[in-house]
A and B are shown apart, each in its own frame.
Chain A
Amino acid sequence: MSLLASAVLAAPAPTPDIPAPTIEYGLLSPMLLVFGIAVVGVLVEAFVPRAHRAAVQMPITLLGLAGAFILTIVVATQDITPASGQGWGKLAAMGSIGIDRPTLFIQGTILILALVSTFMIAERRTDEGSFTAQAAATPGSAAEREGLLAGATHTEVYPLVMFAVGGMLLFPASGDLITMFVALEVLSLPLYLLCGLARRRRLLSQEAAVKYFLLGAFSSGFFLFGAALLYGYAGSVQLGAIARAVRLGPGGQYATEVYGASGQFAQVTVGSNALLMLGVALLAVGLLFKLGAVPFQSWKPDVYQGAPTPITALMASCTLVAAFGALFRVFYVAFDGLTWEWRPMMWLIAILTMVVGAVVAVTQTDVKRLLAYSSIAHAGFILTGMIAADAAGLSSALFYLAAYGFTTIGAFAIVTLVRDAGGEAGHLSRWAGLGKRSPVIAGAFAFFLLAFAGIPLTSGFIGKFAVFQAAIAGGATPLVVVGVLSSAVAAFFYVRIIVLMFFSDPAPDGPAVVVPSVFTSAAVALGVAATLVLGVLPQSVLDLADQAASSLFVR
């Protein structure tokens, strides 16, 4: 009450001097470029004739992503010392964005994976692309048929993807909870739309979009509520300030500069622990929803199945990376002093996620749903590494994310190629005997599945090994036991698909494998190459992740 009263009383004083904020454009250039390209993409939609839009959008999107990646590398090679003098990094834009080594690794990973996903988005040879001609037309209506016959497609996909990617870049870099919430919405809203744009099975796609939107909004509410409670506890939404409040404990006091009034300080009293615990829990719900951890996984199979497959690939790779990045930042920076409190909760979540993801996948019959459950299980494995809450855990999780992202994009790219009259042949029974018809495609898919299962000489093995090793070093051996058992269950259904593809007789009217253009071929080839290289010669990327993780997040 005294705080409020003093603030009200101080109002009649002469208006304080407002210092102009500063923004480090150089450090933020990757994000600014991506957002800029997105805006340009909107203008392209506005002014370029329909026939040429795709030809303009695709190159600027690819160039924008590539340029942002190069800028990320440029930023990473700068010599930036934080205010504390320790490590590497800086709180940019008045503390609302943290640029540091782990963030740059995450951003670089997101950008490369987004680039590969964009290859799939750019594919036009499979059924004129994966996106609908008239999103607004009722499925099955004359208007939709008209659009299909005209060969139309929604090129808004490109700017939407760029907005989503921009949000993903910002999400793990956010220095305070408000920026993080904005980033969460910026990345989510375009994805809700994109999910509803599938060319085939429109109703399923629209249902997926609505489900994702409703549940996403629900989870955003949790996030906001958590942020509000944490503000009540710490008197700030800055992650660093929350960490300081946690160190001080309830009743502790610290002075904070009143924004816009230089030289004036307000005394903040740290709130009760109930606020803190509820805030941590609700914030965690909001973050865990995005990465599909059990019990917040229910949207994932439906949405992954309904969304256009390139968008599913984007979500399974980039969104997962971004969500984990934000989770890492919040729990490693703001809740650093609470490790003993949140660790049991994360144990529970990780165990549930691994077990449910692996077990439920066993009875799936749709390829995309199966990959969705596999993605849930993998999120559990990565959580296992995160629980170590040290540099090794962070490093292993970063490597896992990069490795898994490539593999999963490759797998979804192959899903787009196996088609029959109704579009993608989703049902697993249609994949029987694929190895006899298209040995290369089936072989590549089998390779990805082996990587998911964590067989040596694939990146999946190295990734699993790294997170489990970090978890054991962090004292989470029972968790690793559960993880290994879940891997065994998961391996069962991966191998079952391989058996199905190579040791069953193909159905007489089985699906055909479309010969893809250079785009999807590149996505598959990059997936195979990355999975193999990261499995055989992982050292350089492991070193990079180590280097990124060793300086930890900037506060």
Chain B
Amino acid sequence: MELYVPILVLAALSAGFAAVNLLIAAVAGPKRYNRAKLEAYECGIEPTPQPVGGGRFPIKYYLTAMLFIVFDIEIIFLYPWAASFDRLGIFGLVEMVLFIVTVLVAYVYIWRRGGLEWD
């Protein structure tokens, strides 16, 4: 049972931290509501001027974010491979090169078709 005591302590600490922070924000923070803040999933930035009834909004954020996620995942896969590279041998190398090439193809496509140009 002693084994679980540190875990329980850590859990209690993190929960307390989260609760205290929420409490402080509620007590001390100024409350200025605006439209952008009330939108679902708002991040505080109004997504550029838009016509009545929805219409278009720039997707540059999303493109960049998705590109980031793609390479993020690539890195995550690279870690365990790197850790056991010597044991996976040529097979591991070939598979990983294939994986990187595939992701690179997507990158090349986005790059060539102007997905990385902000304007």
Query: What residues of chain A have their CB less than 8 Å away from a CB belonging to chain B?
Result: 17-18, 20-23, 39, 42-43, 45-47, 138
Contact = CB atoms under 8 A, between A and B. Distances in A.
Question: Which 7 pairs show the lowest CB-CB distances between chains A and B?
Answer: A46-B112, A20-B91, A46-B109, A18-B87, A42-B109, A20-B88, A46-B108
Interface string B12-55: 00000000000000000000000000000000000000000001
Contacts of A46: 105, 108-109, 111-113
B106 interface: yes
A177 B48 CA distance: 43
B105 A21 contact: no
Contacts of A23: 95
B88 A39 contact: no
Contacts of B87: 17-18, 20
A17 B92 CA distance: 14
Interface string B44-77: 0000000000011000000000000000000000
B108 A20 contact: no
Given A17-B87, A18-B88, A20-B92, A43 B109 contact: yes
Given A47-B112, A138-B56, 9 more contacts: A20-B89, A42-B105, A42-B106, A43-B109, A45-B109, A45-B113, A46-B105, A46-B113, A138-B55
A43 B84 contact: no
Nearest to A141: B56
28 contacts: A17-B87, A18-B84, A18-B87, A18-B88, A20-B87, A20-B88, A20-B89, A20-B91, A20-B92, A21-B91, A23-B95, A39-B105, A42-B105, A42-B106, A43-B105, A43-B108, A43-B109, A45-B112, A45-B113, A46-B105, A46-B108, A46-B109, A46-B111, A46-B112, A46-B113, A47-B112, A138-B55, A138-B56
A22 B84 CA distance: 16
Contacts of B112: 45-47
Contacts of B55: 138
The prevalent SS among residues of B at the interface is: helix
Contacts, number: 33
Contacts of B109: 42-43, 45-46
Interface of B: 55-56, 84, 87-89, 91-92, 95, 102, 105-106, 108-109, 111-113
A473 to B, nearest CB: 46
Contacts of A47: 112
Nearest to B56: A138
B96 to A, nearest CB: 12
B49 to A, nearest CB: 15
A16 to B, nearest CB: 10
Contacts of A20: 87-89, 91-92
Nearest to B88: A20
A232 B113 CA distance: 45
Contacts of A39: 102, 105
A45 B109 CA distance: 7
Nearest to A15: B84
Nearest to B91: A20
Contacts of B111: 46
B99 to A, nearest CB: 12
A242 B8 CA distance: 35
B102 to A, nearest CB: 6
Tell which of B55, B89, B95, B109 has the most Cβ of chain A within 10 Å.
Answer: B109
A47 B88 CA distance: 35
A39 B55 CA distance: 33
Tell which of A21, A46, A47, A138 has the most Cβ of chain B within 10 Å.
Answer: A46
B78 to A, nearest CB: 16
Nearest to A40: B105
A45 B108 CA distance: 10
A92 to B, nearest CB: 15
B73 to A, nearest CB: 13
B114 to A, nearest CB: 11
